[in-house]
Structure 1
Amino acid sequence: MQAFINEYGGQMLTKSAEHLYISAIALGLGILVAVPLGILLTRLPKISNFVIGVASVLQTIPSLALLALMIPFFGVGKFPAIIALFIYSLLPILRNTYIGMKNVDRNYRDVAKGMGMTNLQSIFTVELPIAVPTIMAGIRLAAVYVIAWATLASYIGAGGLGDMIFSGLNNFQPPLIIAGTVPVILMALIVDLLLGFLEDRMTPAALRKEE
């Protein structure tokens, strides 16, 4: 074990940092775009199915095909990988935000309106806190997807733990494959646990008691 750490430890740390960097930016962009868009779609029912349908179609594009498609437009490296991973993160966050906001009991909206709240105040004060568990479930799912798919980003020179995995596969070095795979699994588990903790903190106390 000590020999394994001595040989691959430094590389594992460097590649893990690259992997986390790519994944975090892609997921962050996905949240910034998909959450507001999901909320907006609950107010625009005529186009909601179309927009979610487009996101669903993008999700079906094979990972390597999407990464290859990025090259003519953005070249190689981290930037095209982040764009591709951002696209993959959209659907689970968008869909869950839309469903979470849509499923808020209409009575809550009526009460907010009766209290003189504007539409925006109702969203942020009443509806969004109630929808938090559903939205966070989508974010957690997207996070696991992005971390897993980021391994393929090494094919376009983005770095990350995929470099170790595919180098091990190409050179028939099982220890190198393990050195790349284990951190990906641990990263996905830890991020999911942290987001689960954040979900608990963000969920209103009354809803936590009901659960």
Structure 2
Amino acid sequence: MSQMSATDQFIFYMQENGLYVFNQFLDHFLISIYGVLLAALVGIPIGIFISKYGKASNVVITLANIIQTIPALALMAILMLVLGLGKTTVIVTVFFYSLLPIIKNTYVGITTINKGVTDAGRGMGMTKTQVLYMIELPLSLSVMITGIRIALVIAIGITAIGAFIGAGGLGDIIIRGTNATDRTAIIMAGALPTALMAILSDILLGAIERQLDPVKRQQKKVISPM
């Protein structure tokens, strides 16, 4: 095998270990998804709250920014003291890193809505809750999806580092590759699926974002044939 080219070694490795790589791919994706979904459950309500109470926005966004400045491996090491080794620590790390884009995009999405639209809703007798659920959230949904999109791409990269603390995923293959004789093929077997996952996730969420964008939907209706 040492006499084969890097590409041939990669193909050979995938033929022999394809199922293992696929299982690690799924583990990697699920860890990333769980962390981002948890961040969305917490971050979206926080984003809505600070959009209504502007004085709190600077404090919350600054705190989220501070978390982003902590190196991922250092944050994992801190969390590991409480949560131990494994996937839970990585999921919580992804959660913390995903908060900033989700909170910020939720906040921006709601605060940049044309005030005339929300005033019209109130003029029709809508309550604040009705304005939020019937006007503000639908109009800001595409911007919120953008935040989740950014968070997921970041999460996929962070999850790869999680292999250092026993979380598995594609990062585990990359680490194995650094210690192997024919390292290039094994590193590629971990790195290429990781890059592919990030690209496909970005494309898929980008398509969802475009579908939920009210401006683009309206443009499609205008230019579509009668």
Normalising by structure 1, we get a TM-score of 0.94
1:117 is aligned to 126
Structure 1 position 28, deviation (Å): 0.5
Question: What does residue 45 of structure 1 align with?
Answer: 54
> Larger Cα Rg: Structure 1 or Structure 2?
2
CA contact (8 A) 1:22 1:82 kept: yes
What code does the residue aligned with 1:202 have?
Answer: L
- The 5-angstrom pairing of residues 182-193 of structure 1 reads 182-193=192-203
Q: Distance in 1 between matches of 2:216 and 2:122?
A: 21
**Residue 103, structure 1, aligned to residue 112, structure 2:** yes
Provide Cα deviations, 1:27-53, integer angstroms capped at 9, x if missing partner: 111111111110111111111110110
Q: 211, 217, 225: which is aligned to 1:201?
A: 211
Task: Please say if residues 8 and 179 of structure 1, whose CA atoms lie closer than 8 Å, have aligned partners that are also in contact.
Answer: no
Match of 2:40 among 26, 31, 36: 31
- Give the secondary structure class of the aligned counterpart of 2:73: helix
Distance in 1 (alpha carbons) for counterparts of 2:61 and 2:193? 33
Deviation of the 1:66 alpha carbon: 0.4
How many equivalent residue pairs?
Answer: 210
Deviation at 1:92, TM superposition (A): 0.7
Name the structure 2 match of 1:3.
12
The CA RMSD over aligned residues, in Å, is 1.5
1:78 maps to what in 2?
Answer: 87
Residue equivalent to 2:169: 160
Distance in structure 1 (CA, Å) of the matches to 2:216 and 2:210: 10
CA distance in 2, matches of 1:207, 1:40: 27
Report the alpha carbon displacement of residue 167 of structure 1 after superposing the two structures with TM. 1.3
Write the deviation string for residues 44-99 of structure 1: whole angstroms up to 9, x where unpaired. Answer: 11111101100000011001100101111101111111001100000011111101
Residues 210 and 216, structure 2, Cα contact 8 Å, conserved in 1: no
- Identity between Structure 1 and Structure 2 (%): 39
Scaled by the length of structure 2, what TM-score is found?
A: 0.88
By how many angstroms is 1:102 displaced?
A: 0.6
**Aligned partners of 1:71 and 1:80 also within 8 Å:** yes
- Inter-partner Cα distance in structure 1 for 2:136 and 2:216: 13
Rounded Cα–Cα distance in structure 1 between residues aligned with 2:142 and 2:213 = 6
Looking at structure 2, the residues matched to 76 and 111 of structure 1 have their Cα atoms a distance apart, in angstroms, of 53
Aligned to 1:176: 186
**Structure 1 residue 7: deviation in Å?**
2.1
- Contiguous gaps of at least 5 residues in structure 1: none
Q: Is the 8 A contact 2:143 2:209 kept in 1?
A: no
Q: Which residue number corresponds to residue 92 of structure 1?
A: 101
